[in-house]
């Protein structure tokens, strides 16, 4: 998989460079065909080359150079130790997959800003957030979170006005309006998900599942970016069956999943990724659907 990114980087760079050159030649031909004086030609050509250089730099060179940087930078040992110590998902991967997971984490951290608000953040928090982002899209090498720029880490849970305190209810959210393209996460709740206790909760993963769901334009519990159209109706049927079990208190899925379909997807995904064995045992049908949606059968390791 590591080779996949090396090939991807090279082929995308070549493809985009050729595309940009074709556009440049097209503009030169158009310009030559429409101007008459040599003086005007020099001025216009200079302008075109200038604009082309700027567009090429920001549209092609800069994003791809981030990939290049990631591919050339070894994954820090300290980061690997954080993964080994905290992230069960990582420990279940084989060596190639681990390399690939590490590159995805590096790329995520290279392209997204993580900021502590009234709280200190360290490499551990950053790695745990990045791991939570990559786990659900691990089987989708081309998936990028292009609907978010920054993750704000709050010292605690918060309310609708962003006041924090351990009695406030919100643990994480994807921002709207002035907070668009941002995510807010409560620091203790990020840490709790990886505290070593068996848990079915991971607030960061929950919010990233909303972003995956949002990629097709609507947060509706149907991540069309991951699943086939033909698979949508059976998925919704299964979702309804699972919801009715929660209503009858015959399910151990957090009742918050009943809020709407998108919350069901996010809540059940947390459970699937954090306690796959228990999820498979208690929800065998749903487990089958999740292995299809996320293209992944999850192994569990006993520490």
Cβ 259 to Zn ion shortest distance, Å: 8
Q: Which residues on adjacent β-strands are paired with residue 113?
A: 150
Q: How far apart are CA 91 and CA 105, in angstroms?
A: 15
Q: By C-beta, is 93 or 212 nearer to Zn ion?
A: 212
Beta-bridge partner residues of 151: 114, 183
Buried b (16+ CB within 10 A) or exposed e, 75-97: beeebeebbeebbbbbeebeeee
Residue closest to 83 by CA, chosen among 101, 108, 57: 101
For 167, phi then psi, to 5°, come to: -95, -10
Chain residue whose CB lies nearest Zn ion: 266
DSSP type of residue 151: E
Interaction site with Zn ion (CB under 5 A): 263, 266
Shortest gap between Cβ of 270 and Zn ion (angstroms)? 10
| Shortest spacing between CB 176 and Zn ion, in angstroms | 13
Least distance in angstroms from the C-beta of 33 to Zn ion: 56
Helices 123-134 & 203-214 angle (0-180, nearest 10)? 40
Nearer to Zn ion by Cβ, of 2 and 256: the residue is 256
Nearer to Zn ion, 93 or 268 (CB): 268
- In the complex with Zn ion, the residue whose CB is nearer, 6 or 259, is 259
Comparison of 211 and 266: residue with beta carbon closer to Zn ion:
266
Shorter beta-carbon distance to Zn ion: residue 105 or 266:
266
Q: Which residues contact 242 (CB under 8 A, 6 or more apart)?
A: 251, 253, 257, 264, 268, 283, 285, 286
* Sequence-ordered list of residues with C-beta below 8 angstroms from that of 86, at least 6 positions apart, any chain: 124, 127, 128, 194, 196
Cβ contacts of 14 within 8 Å, gap of 6 or more: none
Shortest spacing between CB 303 and Zn ion, in angstroms: 29
């Amino acid at each position: 998989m590591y080779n996949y990114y090396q090939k991807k980087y090279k082929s995308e760079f070549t493809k985009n460079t050729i595309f940009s050159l074709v556009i440049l030649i097209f503009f030169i031909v158009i310009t030559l065909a429409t101007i008459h004086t040599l003086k005007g030609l020099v001025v216009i050509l200079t302008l075109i080359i200038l604009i082309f250089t700027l567009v090429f730099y920001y549209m092609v060179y800069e994003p791809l150079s981030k990939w290049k940087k990631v591919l050339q930078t070894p994954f820090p040992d300290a980061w690997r130790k954080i993964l080994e110590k905290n992230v069960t998902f990582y420990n279940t991967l084989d060596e190639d997959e681990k390399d690939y997971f590490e590159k995805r984490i590096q790329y995520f951290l290279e392209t997204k800003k993580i900021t502590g608000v009234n709280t200190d953040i360290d490499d551990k928090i950053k790695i745990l957030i990045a791991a939570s982002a990559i786990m659900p899209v691990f089987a989708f090498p081309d998936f990028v979170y292009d609907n978010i720029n920054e993750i704000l880490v709050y010292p605690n849970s918060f309310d609708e006005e962003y006041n924090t305190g351990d009695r406030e209810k919100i643990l994480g959210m994807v921002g709207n309006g002035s907070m668009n393209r941002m995510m807010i996460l409560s620091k203790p709740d990020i840490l709790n998900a990886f505290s070593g206790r068996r848990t079915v909760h991971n607030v960061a993963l929950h919010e990233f599942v909303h972003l995956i769901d949002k990629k097709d334009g609507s947060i509706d519990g149907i991540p069309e970016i991951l699943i086939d159209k033909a698979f949508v109706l059976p998925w919704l049927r299964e979702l309804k069956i699972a919801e009715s079990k929660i209503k009858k208190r015959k399910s151990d899925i957090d009742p918050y999943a009943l809020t709407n379909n998108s919350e069901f997807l996010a809540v059940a995904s947390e459970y699937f990724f954090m306690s796959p064995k228990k999820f498979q045992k208690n929800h065998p049908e749903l487990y089958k659907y999740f292995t299809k949606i996320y293209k992944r059968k999850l192994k569990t390791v006993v520490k």
